[in-house]
Structure 1
Amino acid sequence: MPVTSTETPPQAPSADPPERRGLAARVRLGAVFAPVSSEFLLIASTALLLTGFGLVMILSATSATATAAGQQPYDAVLKQAVFAVIGIPLMFIASRLPLSFWKKAAWPGLIAASALQLLVLTPLGVENDGNRNWISIGGLQAQPAEFLKLALALWLGTVLFRKQALLGKWRHALIPALPVTILVIGTDLAGGDLGTAMILFVVALAGLFFSGVKLRILLVPLTLSAAAVGFLALNSSNRMARIMSFLNPDTTACYYNECYQSLHGIWGLAGGGILGLGLGNSKEKYDWLPAAANDYIFAIIGEELGLVGCLVVLALFTIFAIGAFHIVRRSNDMFVRVVAGAIGVWVIGQALLNIGVVLRLFPVLGVPLPFVSQGGTSLISVLLASGVLLSFARNLPPKPAARRTAAPDDADPIA
């Protein structure tokens, strides 16, 4: 009679041996500290340098008038520093998120940003200089339109990525991209902010361009936007006054009205010369130049740090552009190309527009200098956009290894 053994067979170990666990831990730790691409370093370093430089210039531009008003000289820079402390970690957290996250977040992000922008039409909205584009909650003001720029870029990337095989036909290239973009810009124009609306249009145009849409198809949104800008300018006395003052060669006639801010901005730049008056020695910031820490902070940079300081700022934005457009060039993913191109055009285009206003190349439009101007919402949105670029930079395909060219000494000798 067979005997059945009651002994249980030996069980497999429940965990890997200690040496395997140690190896896995080293692999995971190595992934965290793995070398990053040059694009990652370019974007992250310029974002941090411009943010820190902006804090210094905000302190310089606001401390004198705050002291004269009986306030603490560090109030403005401390408020901006709080947003920097929030935005910089958000940038690096965003850099760790996968591409799939940004694709899934596109539609919810655009809906949430549009709903937030519509709050300006409620009792929470705050009006300033004819524009109602701020909300105030518990004494804290925010400009929701800043988040529309990033949300629109991500949404366009997702939609155009899904339709990439059909973009040769105009109806697939423009629908739903054009109608949704018009609705998004409409939520901003409801508050009267034409400057931000122009930036949103540039973001949409850049997204279509980097998706590979035929250039003749882009004539449709270009024509519509030009007609819309002309209509909105003609139907606003405030906008027409700013445009006419910009075109008026006799600036003495409008010095105390529409030309006042732009003239003091150009005088501040001219007064700095090549090396500037020195950090903290601006004269225009003593209540001569309105919005010295906001839209016209570049004038204070030119006055205190001179042409050299202005060139340094332009060089940093150039490096940021190189990092962003290198991502466009190296990526094989249309979603990455569209979003990275749109963000790059947004940041660099807005910087050039702000500097052009200070130089009196454009009429006053009320757009901040990215990373540098005072404004917490603007700073957080542009840092978060930089985080999206950093996430793309982490997922770039490796560069092809350079082929080694044989030196003459390496060649086989001829018998």
Structure 2
Amino acid sequence: MAIPPPASDDQASTPREDGSRLAAFQARMFLGKTRRRESGTYFLVLGTTLFLVAIGLVMVLSSSAITSFASGDSGFFGAFLRQGTFALIGVPLMLVISRFPISFWKKWAWHFLGAGILLQLLVFVPGIGISSYGNQNWIRLGPLTGQPSEFLKLGLIVWMGFILWRKQDRLRDWKHALIPVFPAAVLAIGLVVLGADLGTGIIMFAIFMSALYFANVRMRILAIPLIFGALAVAAMTVLSPNRVARILNFAGDSCDASTDISGLCWQPLHGLWAIANGGVLGVGLGNSKAKWLWLPAAENDYIFAIIGEELGMVGAIVVILLYLVLTFALIRVMRNARDLFGTVVTGSILVWIVGQAFVNIGVVIGLLPVLGVPLPLLSSGGTALVSCLLGIGVVLSIARDSNHKPEDDALNDTLGARSWAPRVPA
């Protein structure tokens, strides 16, 4: 190797110049570390979510066009324009909060739960709370209406993840495993059920149970809230004649369109007829007959029936596969999470979005009685869409955190090796 000639006096660098070059080199190295590439799991979650939102916008436009025109709501595009506006709000918010560090969610966990409970209490304030389809779970603030229970779900999830993370070494004791998460969950779910929205209450209870499960709480401890929840659901069902009638119609298969023109059987029957009319390939996008005021809530709880009618069995299977892909991606985030907080929060959001999706689909195809829960990321409803996108944003934040190397985070010096064994699907 040739040795370069010594530098001349005017070419020789001074110590100050050497120090400047070293500082610039270190700065470039630091910037290179902070601009690390996101993982494939991150993009899988993001891409699947955006694909589902895009399908939802198309189907909301198709399924709501007739009802929007009939109600004089901005012609054929009223519901679609509202849903598109909330998508334009929710997607950027999702991307913004995906950049937040995990420490942000832990620091503000109590505030998120408190804000969710305060919003839910507004449904009982005269002049603010409004009733829809017999449920007192909506609020109106000026020109805006929303369902606070959707944001309460996310606040409860982040808070439970934080509490269980802080107590991870004491969760084998039933007192630490259930207090304070069980009383807080009872309060949050109770406020929702008090507004007669049992379907959302059941979803929130499933979220609560999944948080304990993924925190590796003992099964005999999980049996305590499970028995309590089952008894509570049974009592609230028996005390409601409408719910009893729904269960009897579902269990007895007594729905008859010739005798039940506008009763409890109308919606599930027309939903099944819409799917049957679609066949394998569907009648074509925009050609649904059920959306011509035959199927109630065609753009909301029963949008999957319109998907089956217009896009056929093929389109319905594609939607189901997208939820399965999202499930796979979220499980990967759970497995790669660096602490119990990431595992619990991601698992709870998985149960919330994917679990609620399959409950909705089960209702539409007749496997479950009518519960009145929307299809996440697809159904019309700005509050539900934005809250789901915020939940995915938290998952993306956890996915980014799991992509960091241990030496990039000084907190690892205090956290040390994992002392917990997450209960995550293989």
Fold equivalence (TM over 0.5): yes
Q: Find out whether 1:101 has 2:104 as its counterpart.
A: yes
Query: Shift of the alpha carbon at 1:187?
Result: 1.2
Is the Cα–Cα contact under 8 Å of residues 98 and 391 in structure 1 kept in the other structure?
A: yes
Q: Find out whether 1:243 has 2:247 as its counterpart.
A: yes
Equivalent in the alignment of 1:171: 175
Equivalent in the alignment of 2:87: 84
2:369 is paired with a residue of what secondary structure?
coil
Equivalent in the alignment of 1:4: none
Q: Given the superposition, is the C-alpha separation of residues 226 and 255 from structure 1 closer, same or farther in structure 2, using an over 3 Å criterion?
A: farther
1:73 is paired with a residue of what secondary structure?
helix
Equivalent in the alignment of 2:9: none
1:134 is paired with a residue of what secondary structure?
strand
Match 2:196 to one of 175, 192, 199: 192
Query: Shift of the alpha carbon at 1:42?
Result: 1.2
Match 1:125 to one of 124, 129, 135: 129
C-alpha separation between the residues in 2 aligned to 1:37 and 1:132? 42
2:341 is paired with a residue of what secondary structure?
helix
Q: Find out whether 1:279 has 2:282 as its counterpart.
A: no
Is the Cα–Cα contact under 8 Å of residues 172 and 217 in structure 2 kept in the other structure?
A: yes
Q: Which amino acid aligns with 1:247?
A: A
Is the Cα–Cα contact under 8 Å of residues 245 and 254 in structure 1 kept in the other structure?
A: no
Match 1:201 to one of 193, 200, 205: 205
Query: Shift of the alpha carbon at 1:206?
Result: 0.5
Q: Which amino acid aligns with 2:197?
A: D
Q: CA RMSD in A?
A: 2.1
Match 1:110 to one of 84, 100, 113: 113
Query: Shift of the alpha carbon at 1:200?
Result: 0.7
Q: Find out whether 1:221 has 2:225 as its counterpart.
A: yes
C-alpha separation between the residues in 2 aligned to 1:256 and 1:247? 19
C-alpha separation between the residues in 1 aligned to 2:18 and 2:240? 72
2:387 is paired with a residue of what secondary structure?
helix
Q: Find out whether 1:231 has 2:235 as its counterpart.
A: yes
Is the Cα–Cα contact under 8 Å of residues 45 and 326 in structure 2 kept in the other structure?
A: yes
Q: Which amino acid aligns with 1:73?
A: F
2:169 is paired with a residue of what secondary structure?
helix
Q: Runs in 1 of length 4+ with deviation above 6 angstroms?
A: 12-16
Match 1:55 to one of 48, 54, 57: 57
Equivalent in the alignment of 2:344: 338
C-alpha separation between the residues in 2 aligned to 1:397 and 1:382? 23
Q: Given the superposition, is the C-alpha separation of residues 76 and 337 from structure 1 closer, same or farther in structure 2, using an over 3 Å criterion?
A: same
Q: Find out whether 1:256 has 2:241 as its counterpart.
A: no
Q: Find out whether 1:142 has 2:146 as its counterpart.
A: yes
C-alpha separation between the residues in 2 aligned to 1:80 and 1:13? 59
Q: Given the superposition, is the C-alpha separation of residues 28 and 277 from structure 1 closer, same or farther in structure 2, using an over 3 Å criterion?
A: same
Query: Shift of the alpha carbon at 1:16?
Result: 7.3
Equivalent in the alignment of 1:327: 333
Query: Shift of the alpha carbon at 1:23?
Result: 6.7
Query: Shift of the alpha carbon at 1:397?
Result: 5.0
C-alpha separation between the residues in 2 aligned to 1:31 and 1:398? 9
Q: Which amino acid aligns with 2:163?
A: V
Q: Find out whether 1:45 has 2:51 as its counterpart.
A: no
What is the CA deviation profile of residues 217-256 of structure 1, one whole-angstrom value per residue up to 9, with x for unaligned ones? 1111110111000110111122222222212322114453
User: How many residue pairs were aligned?
Assistant: 388
1:109 is paired with a residue of what secondary structure?
helix
Is the Cα–Cα contact under 8 Å of residues 158 and 345 in structure 2 kept in the other structure?
A: yes
Equivalent in the alignment of 2:162: 158
Query: Shift of the alpha carbon at 1:296?
Result: 0.3
- What runs of 5+ residues in structure 2 fail to find an aligned partner? 1-14, 407-426
- What runs of 5+ residues in structure 1 fail to find an aligned partner? 1-11, 401-415
1:173 is paired with a residue of what secondary structure?
helix
Query: Shift of the alpha carbon at 1:185?
Result: 0.6
Query: Shift of the alpha carbon at 1:375?
Result: 0.4
C-alpha separation between the residues in 2 aligned to 1:66 and 1:16? 68
TM-score under structure 1 length normalisation: 0.89
Is the Cα–Cα contact under 8 Å of residues 38 and 403 in structure 2 kept in the other structure?
A: no
Equivalent in the alignment of 2:69: 67
Is the Cα–Cα contact under 8 Å of residues 255 and 263 in structure 1 kept in the other structure?
A: no
